Chain A
Amino acid sequence: MIQVQGISKSFAGQPVLRDLSFEVPDARITALLGANGAGKTSCLRILCGLLRAESGQVLVGGIDPVRDPQGARRQLGVVGDREGLYERLTVVEYLDIFARMQGLSGAALKSALASVCEELELQKLWRRRMGGFSQGERMKVSLARALVHRPKHLILDEPTRGLDVLAVRLLRRTLLRLRSAGTAILFSSHVMSEVAELSDRVLVMSQGRIVGRGAPDELIAETGSENLEDSFVALAYGERTRVAEEVV
């Protein structure tokens, strides 16, 4: 489980996150929704230990990423908003290197590599260098890298961006399988149909705050909307309008 308690963050005096608290339970898919600039990426980076919150605390599987960044990172698999691949490496070299950095070796390493290769259908790409890969291929490799050490928590920043239908299906299948295996999954997205279909819980962010939380159906009911998209607009933009009015 990922626990976030009262975190705040600002850049150049401009608050980005304001007293943010939420949980990402095990064996659940949690979606983080928000307009551009709502603070989603900053929030995810704090969970990974890349940024430091000015106040509050984050626990990843009970480990504080500030106190024990290496320990927390072993618990995490992260797919960022760009894939972060190395174009001069082959897929197998890339995955082997990152798996070893996570402490895998010997038979465990071999088994982990074989497993991600099969699960993410990487056989054809396995010995190819990654320069010139399509967006879908890049995402698959990036996801494989995040999963190769079988983390208990998975964080994905807009994972379906630029993917074709087949890649999205593969990603969906993988996330559902990981949920069944007990992984705590947090992902950000702008694709409402994706969120509605995949997520067990939704967190709606606006102006650095959580302005709505619950299952997709609950949010729809709460806002009296017809679908999740309308519900999101009502929560995110309605809150933004309210904050703006308060400031005026």
Chain B
Amino acid sequence: MRGTSSMRGAKGNAKAMLQLKLMLPLLRKEFLEAWRDRRALIMAVSFALLFPAMIAGGSTFMIKKKAEEVTRVAVLGGAQAPLLTEQLDGPGLEVVSLDDGEPRSLLGQGYHLVLVVGDEFDQRYRDFLAPPLYVYVDSSNTSSGRAQRQLQERLGALQQLVVTQRLVARGVATQVLAPWKLEVRDVSTPSARGALLLAMVPGLLILTLFVASLATSVDTSAGERERLSLETLLLQPLPAWQIITAKMLAVASLGWLGALMSITALVLLMPLMPLAELGIQQATTLSGVFSMGLLLLPLALLVAVLQILLALRSQSFKDAQTQLSILQIAPLVLLMALDMAQVSLEGSWQLVPLVSHQQWLKDLLVGEVVSLPAMLAGSAVTLLCVVAAVLLGAKALRRESLLSAA
């Protein structure tokens, strides 16, 4: 009895091996087709390189903008208060004293603010009569609020200094005026500041998986169906799950390599980005890059098989393209909605594909440590979803309506 059952087991194993062997040429066909599609490759590479370039460009723009954030103040009647004019000038404020001019036209000449010192300022100042200072601002200018705040802060500090000096001159202890001293200390770590700037990167990496594989997934499913080559494939002695699996692997290869290309480009561009000037240290490590590549692999498979499933359900090639374009936006909308709702993504959220991937990518990008068991559990759940989707795909291939004119 035992001998018979072991013989049956050996026969079963040999049959399974033969089936897998028959799948290899199909895999070759799918990969050749996918990687020889110039249009799909251009699309994958373009998007994969475009967004790291955008991030690099964006950060350079941010630092340039920060450098440009100097408030230009024109002072009219500055001769009445030379010391004030002198004291205002400093980092972030460029003060120009003018003999005459009209505030409105000066605001149109590149000055953010015009400070007008009254005619009797000097005399009223000496007499402790609180001489007025007039600040002219064009509130329709987007930088007017920042400029106004900056000038008020500087004037406030000067005012405090004058009051202190006056009280000291009268023998009053300055501590009486200041029950406390406020100091702001930034406790954010470079990696946390990096997370702020790089927050959009995980979403874009996930989007790359979709965009880089879109053309191939449509071509290999709806395209094959329209060209009737799918029928030829279904006539081969292969189970439907192998056909879907081969297609999934070919489609996922493009998405995954697109995402890897994005990560590599991003890491290579990081030294060129003015991260230090933004207070960010480059924290992405080589092992981090490796881990990102590994954890994106199951997600690439899931994205590929979902796209194929949807494309197989479409009425035509064009219909599939439209439906998949909408599908691409869905994960980003979901991730943004969770972000906006400030949902705490702990516990069971770590098992939800996409959500967990976004979290891990975010952490790895800024050099944080990600829990290995959590990553393994999340990846296992993603792979289970892949298996379920492959079985659904196999069922879809057996649908009679898949054939033309059926």
Contact = CB atoms under 8 A, between A and B. Distances in A.
Interface string A28-56: 00000000000001100100111110000
Given A51-B400, A52-B400, A86-B29, A73 B236 contact: yes
Contacts of B110: none
Given A41-B405, A50-B403, A88-B33, A102 B228 contact: no
Contact of B403 (A51, A71, A85): A51
Interface in B229-272: 229-239
Contacts of B228: 80-84
B32 A93 contact: yes
B406 A51 contact: yes
A100 B25 contact: yes
Contact of A80 (B24, B37, B232): B232
Nearest to A145: B232
A84 B26 contact: no
Given A84-B232, A88-B37, A101 B32 contact: no
B403 A89 contact: no
A78 B406 CA distance: 17
B239 A73 contact: no
Given A48-B235, A86-B229, A97 B28 contact: yes
Given A82-B227, A86-B33, A89-B33, A101 B236 contact: yes
A88 B32 contact: yes
Given A84-B232, A103-B22, A71 B237 contact: yes
Highest count of chain A CB atoms <10 Å: which of B26, B230, B235: B235
A94 to B, nearest CB: 8
Contacts of A81: 228
Contacts of B26: 97, 101
Nearest to A155: B235
Contact of B236 (A41, A42, A98): A98
A186 interface: no
B239 to A, nearest CB: 7
Interface residues of A, number: 34
Given A70-B239, A73-B237, A101-B237, A89 B232 contact: no
Contacts of B239: 70
Contacts of A51: 400, 403, 406
A103 B233 CA distance: 14
A89 B29 CA distance: 8
B33 A85 contact: no
Given A51-B403, A89-B33, A93-B32, A100 B232 contact: no
B25 A101 contact: yes
Nearest to B230: A84
Interface size class of B (residues with CB under 8 A): 20 to 34
A129 to B, nearest CB: 8
Contacts of B36: 88
Contacts of A84: 227-233
A70 to B, nearest CB: 4
B83 interface: no
Contact of B238 (A78, A101, A145): A101
A52 B33 CA distance: 30
Given A50-B231, A84-B229, A97 B237 contact: no
Interface in B80-102: none
Contact of B235 (A11, A73, A85, A103): A73
Interface in A68-123: 69-71, 73-74, 76, 78, 80-86, 88-89, 93, 96-98, 100-103
A22 to B, nearest CB: 21
A33 B327 CA distance: 46
Interface in A175-227: none
B22 A100 contact: yes
A102 B234 contact: no
Contacts of B229: 84-86
A80 B400 contact: no
Contact of B24 (A11, A48, A100): A100
B405 A70 contact: no
A78 B26 CA distance: 18
23 contacts: A41-B405, A50-B231, A50-B234, A50-B400, A50-B403, A71-B237, A73-B237, A78-B232, A80-B232, A80-B235, A84-B228, A84-B229, A84-B230, A84-B231, A88-B33, A88-B37, A89-B32, A89-B33, A97-B26, A97-B29, A98-B25, A100-B22, A101-B25
Interface of B: 18, 22, 24-26, 28-29, 32-33, 36-37, 227-239, 400, 403, 405-406
List the 8 shortest-distance A-B pairs measured between CB atoms, nearest first. Answer: A84-B232, A100-B25, A70-B237, A84-B229, A82-B228, A88-B36, A73-B237, A97-B25
Given A101-B236, A102-B236, 13 more contacts: A42-B406, A51-B403, A80-B232, A84-B227, A84-B231, A84-B233, A86-B33, A88-B37, A93-B29, A98-B236, A100-B24, A100-B25, A103-B22
